[in-house]
Chain A
Amino acid sequence: QRVLLLVASDVDALCACKILQALFQCDHVQYTLVPVSGWQELETAFLEHKDQFKYFVLINCGANVDLLEILQPEEDTLFFVCDSHRPINVVNVYNDTQIKLLVKQNDDLDVPAYDDIFRDEEDEEEDSDNESNGSEPSEKRRRFEEDVIERTMKRRQRREWEARRREILFDYEQYEYHGTSSAMVMFDLAWIMSKDLNDMLWWAIVGLTDQWVQDKITQMKYVTDIGILQRHVSRHNHRNEDEENSLSIDCMRIAFEYDLRLALYQHWSLYESLCNTSYTSASLKLWSVQGQKRLQEFLADMGLPLKQVKQKFNSMDMSLKENLREMIEESANKFGMKDLRVQTFSIHFGFKNKFSASDIVYATASLMENIEKEGPETTNFIKALDSLSRGNLDKLHLGLDLAKKQLRAIQQTVASCICTNLVISQ
């Protein structure tokens, strides 16, 4: 049977898609991949393909709206939805036949109980055909009154139930948030099937890091999920580095790191990275003159000469790089940046290629959001999808360059907005 994959346009969805593609290829499931970047495209793609497919998999789209109503599918179409958007629409949760949701077991959804929201449509308005013939007037009147009382009670109950239902639904749908990353859910699926690989684990890591970089999940959830992934990482990458058992240099290895929160700093210069990461730029207020001075003080506090800091990171003196992370953390604490280090993972394969998860996230996101349109809209999606494979390092490097441009542009825009008072603080 053939499946249509509808994938949303964010890095988490791309990673989940890669894992699912690998699983499908293992099992020879024929599929077609269609990227969608909005409700309109989802509907168009569905309409185009609905005659050819019975099974649809939606990744990072479709959980928070009533799918059946929007898409109007046939009776025998089946939807599998793996979406990190919450709250999940109640119709999707309680639909037994056509919609299957892929959610991690301990992800609590807080869905309201079935009876509080749904109710069979009873015919409440029983016509008062109680003017039956052949009764005495007083008895008739008594029955009539009883009927009226009964009906008023029922109506009041129904109104109360509806008011409570509105309140419950309002509370449930009030805030939008994100649940576990779809890439992690897919990796879990692969693990349960015993088909998980180091590659898939890396994609799951990138998916989770994307959620954190884009501020879609809380710090606590991020740390919890990192813990889960750390167990998998040690399971896959536990080879000792002794002479007999070590893997070839070209094999991919994932390592846990307590790394700096500076964007792309290993592919850039430390100075640029400090200026263009939103966390440091906002803490030091680098758009103002005092902010620039503070940056100089910060660097002086660490004892890093400006010349060293402004050149490419790989060319910095080894003596400076050795304790860099601890030094920066100490100084950052003095300047009010308490969270400059974060738990993350890095991958390396070959002699030259070492990337941290956030690097990949920035690169892939910039490839997808690239506004230089070279073809139809889906070309960017294809490029970004390709860049996640290890064979396409040139696309990854292109993505890193674009990411640098993107980060610089963001900083400049923010700085100009604040300086021209387009945005003021209360």
Chain B
Amino acid sequence: RGSLSSRSEAKSGRTDLIFLIRFRHCCLLRNQRCILAYLYDRLLRIRALRWEYGSVLPNTIQFHMSAEEVEWFNRYKKSLATYMRSVGGEEGLDLTQDIKPPKSLYIEVRCLRDYGEFEIDDGTTVLLKKNSQHFLPRWKCEQLIRQGILEHILL
């Protein structure tokens, strides 16, 4: 509003306000750049969330995302899924697994935080308490390792 009024005043001939207008314009452009950078960084982080957490985000995180961001996330999810299905033959290839080349089928993990019960493929549950150590199949543990609940122990 201030800039509008000064612009109209400038149009009406007050040339000494040109610098003020230019200065304000530069400030606006800078703010716009900052906001855009911030929003873009948010988008990049949300994209990284898909790789860290999987298709379903925990509520605590979704709470902090705006509606447009949630929609962007869903569309990214969909396009990633379409891509993964197209690669790798009939079933598609899950690219979010095995980010580092695996060395063995089963790995030794240590629990860093209390997590509770965790179900593995044959239906049995594992009780993940802090500082307990387990020897489990690698593909089940990868998610939890990325979230920082389990720690891979090398023997």
Contacts and interface: CB of A to CB of B under 8 A. Distances in A.
Given A30-B136, A31-B135, A25 B126 contact: no
A303 interface: no
Contact of A382 (B110, B126, B134, B137): B110
Contacts of B105: 28
Contact of B124 (A2, A34, A382): A2
Given A28-B105, A389-B155, A382 B131 contact: yes
A22 interface: yes
Contact of A24 (B126, B135, B154): B135
Nearest to B134: A32
A319 B134 CA distance: 51
A229 B124 CA distance: 40
Contacts of A48: 127
Given A52-B124, A382-B110, A22 B134 contact: no
A376 B132 CA distance: 11
Contact of A25 (B108, B130, B131): B108
A30 B107 CA distance: 9
B6 interface: no
A21 interface: yes
B133 interface: yes
Contact of B135 (A21, A375, A376): A21
Contacts of B127: 32, 48-49, 52
A379 interface: yes
Nearest to A5: B133
B150 to A, nearest CB: 12
Given A2-B124, A391-B154, A25 B135 contact: yes
A190 to B, nearest CB: 15
A376 B129 CA distance: 11
B106 interface: yes
Interface SS of A by simple majority: mixed
A389 B153 CA distance: 11
Interface in A27-51: 28-34, 48-49
Interface string A258-291: 0000000000000000000000000000000000
Interface in B87-130: 104-106, 108, 110, 120, 124-127, 130
Contacts of B134: 30-33
Interface string A370-400: 0000011011001000000101000000000
Contacts of A52: 124-127
B113 to A, nearest CB: 12
Contacts of B133: 32-33, 382
Interface residues of B, number: 20
Contacts of B136: 30
Nearest to A17: B133
Nearest to B129: A48
A382 B112 CA distance: 12
Contacts of A21: 108, 135, 155
Contacts of B131: 375-376, 378-379, 382
B132 A32 contact: yes
Given A21-B108, A25-B106, A382-B131, A32 B155 contact: no
Contact of A29 (B126, B135, B154): B135
Interface in A42-71: 48-49, 52
Contact of A34 (B104, B125, B130, B132): B132
Contacts of B135: 21, 24-25, 29-32
A82 to B, nearest CB: 18
Contacts of A22: 155
A256 B154 CA distance: 29
Contacts of A378: 131-132
A355 to B, nearest CB: 19
Chain B CB within 10 A, most for which of A29, A32, A379: A32
Nearest to B110: A382
Given A21-B135, A25-B106, A28-B106, A376 B130 contact: yes
A48 B117 CA distance: 11
A336 B132 CA distance: 49
Contacts of B108: 21, 25
A311 B110 CA distance: 41
Nearest to A49: B127
The 4 closest A-B pairs by CB, nearest first: A33-B133, A378-B131, A32-B134, A31-B135
Interface of A: 2, 21-22, 24-25, 28-34, 48-49, 52, 375-376, 378-379, 382, 389, 391
29 contacts: A21-B108, A21-B135, A22-B155, A24-B135, A25-B104, A25-B155, A28-B105, A28-B106, A30-B106, A30-B120, A30-B134, A30-B137, A31-B134, A31-B135, A32-B127, A32-B133, A32-B135, A33-B133, A34-B132, A49-B127, A52-B126, A376-B130, A376-B131, A378-B131, A378-B132, A379-B131, A382-B110, A382-B133, A389-B155
Given A2-B124, A31-B135, A382-B133, 19 more contacts: A21-B135, A21-B155, A25-B104, A25-B155, A28-B106, A29-B135, A30-B106, A30-B134, A30-B137, A32-B126, A32-B127, A32-B133, A33-B132, A33-B133, A34-B132, A49-B127, A52-B126, A375-B131, A378-B132
